[in-house]
Structure 1
Amino acid sequence: MKLNRIHHIAVICSDYEKSKDFYVRILGLTPINEVYREERDSYKLDLEVNGQYQIELFSFPSPPVRPSYPEAAGLRHLAFEVDDIEEAVQFLTRLHVKVEIVRVDPITNKKFTFFADPDGLPIELYER
């Protein structure tokens, strides 16, 4: 078996409209398909990152909360590459998103920081 690339990442949210606004308006992801699945009382929104389909945003009635932050077993965080970390932090801060202090990766010497989506899922920005 040969894996080609990551096809998508699925994110389950507790408040669909709030999370949709966050991922589309604040992070600037492009919706490419949205469907309501009546049998599951669930929305599914496919999102593009820079022209590539990468994230599925799901809503389900009363999903359980994340067990811990950020060291739960399983998915640790989403990470997006940016050209200018300071510019990205300023943008998010203007939109009232709480962003951690920018740090430098001691191995790559690249700048990075974290913030959270509306459900507390950690999101990393990593400078190119």
Structure 2
Amino acid sequence: MQILQSVHHIAIICSDYDRSKHFYTHILGFEIVREVFRKERQSYKLDLALNGQYCIELFSFPDPPARVSQPEASGLRHLAFAVADLALAITHLEQNGIKCEPVRTDEYTGKRFTFFSDPDGLPLELYEV
């Protein structure tokens, strides 16, 4: 019996709220759905959508501990975004000071992809579809 319908959202805790908010909205192009400051937790919660679909909750907390986030570390490996033109997406990121790894080709699908990092080192992927 299948009980899951889809992925609802991805939650990310950032170390510098303003820097991460700028990265996800101005550089990657997510739309702000809602932004709230939760005074009792000294925490922001920013709900973000991509093409009208709600998908990321960006949180800030005072002094969050660092997390190992290399792609081969145990836990979440990376978050991947589909792009129509990988070269154009890489150029956009590089124009905004974001370094991408060399482009690789998926040996099974023949599709091209690359990795880059968010401001806290979370591994992100662009996958050309």
Q: 1:4-25: CA deviations, max 9, x gaps?
A: 0000000000000000000000
Q: Deviations over 1:61-93 (max 9, x none)?
A: 111111251222221111000000001001111
Contact 2:69–2:123 at 8 Å: present in 1 too?
no
Q: Which residue of 2 aligns with 1:96?
A: 97
What value does the CA root-mean-square deviation take over the aligned residues?
A: 0.9
Question: Residue in 2 aligned with 1:105?
Answer: 106
Partner in structure 2 of residue 49 of structure 1? 50
Q: Percent identity?
A: 61
Q: Distance in 2 between matches of 1:16 and 1:40?
A: 14
Asked whether 1:34 is paired with 2:35, we answer: yes
* Residue segments in structure 2 that go unaligned for 5+ positions in a row: none
Q: Does the Cα contact within 8 Å between 2:79 and 2:125 map onto a contact in 1? A: yes
Q: What residue identity is the alignment partner of 1:60?
A: F
Query: Alignment partner of 1:90: what SS?
Result: helix
Q: Distance in 2 between matches of 1:68 and 1:43?
A: 22
Map of 1:118 onto structure 2: 119
Q: How many residues align?
A: 128
Q: Which runs of 5+ in 1 are unaligned?
A: none
Give the corresponding residue for 1:76.
77
- TM normalised by structure 1 equals 0.97
- Residue matched to 1:7: 8
SS in 2 for 1:11: strand
> What TM-score comes out, normalization by structure 2 length?
0.96
